[in-house]
């Protein structure tokens, strides 16, 4: 997947409509909060029939938006570590 394709997958979250309220509503659809363990897998399972492999990028972007950072990503990272890193490395203004 090219860098451009990855941007296209995550770009809709930056468009109008994906804010805290819409993410809360989406969390209810999935049945887990975006910063809870298991959200990513549940989200991908729910969205994959509609989006195919793009579901992974979409669900990661939802978590990015919830944390306001991409620093939550990484295997075996505890919720405590993820929260600490996302506070230390938030999105730059304008992202």
**pLDDT tens sequence for the chain (95 residues):** 445 444 444 555 554 567 888 889 999 999 999 888 889 999 999 999 998 988 988 888 888 888 777 667 766 767 677 777 666 666 655 44
Which whole-number Å values give the CA distances from 19 to 12, 16, 32, 48, in the listed order? 11, 8, 17, 22
38-43: list long-range contacts, CB under 8 Å, 24+ apart.
39/63
Q: Is 93 a domain residue?
A: no
Range of the domain at 37: 3-88
Find the farthest-apart pair of alpha carbons in the chain and give their distance in angstroms, rounded.
35
Would you say residue 13 lies in a domain? yes
Counted domains in the chain? 1
Q: What number of other Cβ atoms are within 10 A of residue 51's Cβ? A: 15
Residue 53 located in a structural domain: yes
Residue 94 lies in a domain: no
Q: Is residue 95 part of a domain?
A: no
| Residue 19 placed within a domain | yes
CA distance 89 to 45: 29
């Amino acid at each position: 997947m090219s860098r451009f394709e990855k941007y296209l997958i995550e770009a809709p979250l930056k468009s109008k409509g994906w804010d805290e309220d819409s993410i809360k509503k989406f969390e209810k659809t999935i049945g887990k909060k975006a910063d809870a363990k298991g959200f990513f897998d549940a989200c991908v399972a729910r969205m994959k029939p509609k989006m195919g492999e793009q579901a992974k990028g979409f669900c990661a972007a939802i978590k990015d938006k919830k944390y306001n950072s991409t620093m939550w990503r990484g295997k075996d990272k505890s919720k405590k570590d993820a929260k600490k890193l996302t506070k230390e490395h938030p999105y730059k203004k304008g992202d």
